[in-house]
Amino acid sequence: MSDTLSTNTVYDKAKYHYEGDFPTDLPREQAYVFTGFFLGWIVDHEMYSEDVLSDYSRHIEDFKQRKLTSSQLYRQLGGVLAMDLLNENGNKFANYYYCNLQSGEYQEYLYHFMEQFDCNPSIYHVEDSWDNYYYMGQAIDSEYEYWLENIR
């Protein structure tokens, strides 16, 4: 959820998840999967800012070569999905699809995530795997195409 105390620039933080209703039977790393899939998609579609590229080029390259999973990349970037990580197009899409910064509410991404996976007992039980990443990526791709054609 967005961080309203930081002038509405944060879409999500891993700590929002592991300090909330996070299941005690899971490792903390599972708190990075939900947002990590979205961040990975952003990176694969080169919607990150120039600052991120210069500061984290090694991590981005490791992700693109599939040496890091999307949740591992999210951890390497500090576990924060914020406006300054994304370029203009990335921010417009994230605000539409991931989390509306004005309301602080999750958007369609949460619903698609829950539709794509069996989220019982929680969204945190989704395995951090390349298969799951690609599966979620298909849902994001569809929504992105819709956004490009109808909203943008």
For residue 141, the model assigns a pLDDT of 97
The per-residue pLDDT for range 108-151, each reduced to its tens digit, is 999 999 999 988 899 999 999 999 999 999 999 999 999 999 98
User: Residue length, the chain?
Assistant: 152
Place of tokens 């909203």: 151
Tell me the C-alpha distance between 130 and 44, whole Å.
13
Residue 60 confidence (pLDDT): 96
Averaged pLDDT, 9-26? 90
CA nearest 20: which of 31, 11, 9, 29? Answer: 31
pLDDT band at 2 (very low <50, low <70, confident <90, very high): very low
pLDDT band at 38 (very low <50, low <70, confident <90, very high): very high
pLDDT digits (tens, 9 = 90+) for 42-62: 999 999 999 888 889 999 999
Please say if the pLDDT value at position 4 is more than 50.
no
pTM greater than the 0.85 cutoff: yes
Any long-range contacts for 125-131 (C-beta under 8 Å, 24+ apart)? 125/23, 125/26, 125/30, 126/33, 126/34, 127/33, 128/29, 128/30, 128/32, 128/33, 128/36, 128/69, 128/70, 128/71, 128/72, 129/69, 130/66, 130/69
